Structure 1
Amino acid sequence: MSWFYLILAGIFEMTGVAMINSLHKNKNWQSFVLMAAGFGASFLFLALAMETLPMGTAYAIWTGIGASGGAILGMLLYGESKDWKRIACIAIVLGAAVGLKLVS
């Protein structure tokens, strides 16, 4: 169940990051509420995952999902560059997170 919580934490982290961009562009209260809810849920699920997962592994995977997911959302939703070098770097981040799981 901890891995499920950790994946949820990463998804909510991505939501919070996307809402920061939305808030920057729209400056409305809905984006602020969704941003706060996304980050709040992210921290809640991260805390639940860390009840049984090692801190270093959980944090690295959480940030990996958030960073990679944020970059992918930027490409898909906000017209950011889809250059192969960016995609390769995202793959490296995700590969490192998987590597941490394999050696833990």
Structure 2
Amino acid sequence: MAWIILVLAGLMEVSGVIMINEWHKKRKWWAALGMVVGGSLSLGLLTLAIRSIPMGTAYAIWTGIGAAGGTIAGMFLYHESRDLKRILFIILIIVGAVGLKATTGGA
């Protein structure tokens, strides 16, 4: 269950980053609210996950989901570059996260 919570924390991080971009572009109240809600949920869920998953592993996976997810969101929502090198490095982030999961005992 802790791993599901950790993935949700990472997804909330991505949603918060998307809302930061929306706030920067449009200055709408809903984007500011989205930043606060996404960021708060992300940190709250990360806190819960760290109860069962080693802190270093949880933090690395949380930031990996945020980095890869933010980059992928930028590609699809904001037409950022889809260069093959960027995609390769996103894959490396994902492989690293899977490797951490595979080598971490516990939850």
Identical counterparts, % of pairs: 52
Using structure 2 for the length normalisation, give the TM-score.
0.95
Deviation at 1:103, TM superposition (A): 1.8
Looking at structure 1, the residues matched to 9 and 55 of structure 2 have their Cα atoms a distance apart, in angstroms, of 14
**After TM superposition, what 4+ stretches of structure 1 lie above 4 angstroms from structure 2?**
none
2:97 maps to 97
Q: Secondary structure at the match of 1:58?
A: helix
Deviation at 1:28, TM superposition (A): 1.4
Looking at structure 1, the residues matched to 14 and 20 of structure 2 have their Cα atoms a distance apart, in angstroms, of 10
Using structure 1 for the length normalisation, give the TM-score.
0.98
Deviation at 1:102, TM superposition (A): 1.6
CA RMSD in angstroms comes to 0.6
Looking at structure 2, the residues matched to 93 and 7 of structure 1 have their Cα atoms a distance apart, in angstroms, of 14
Looking at structure 2, the residues matched to 60 and 71 of structure 1 have their Cα atoms a distance apart, in angstroms, of 16
- Gap runs ≥5 in structure 1: none
Q: How many residues align?
A: 104
1:28 maps to 28
Deviation at 1:98, TM superposition (A): 1.0
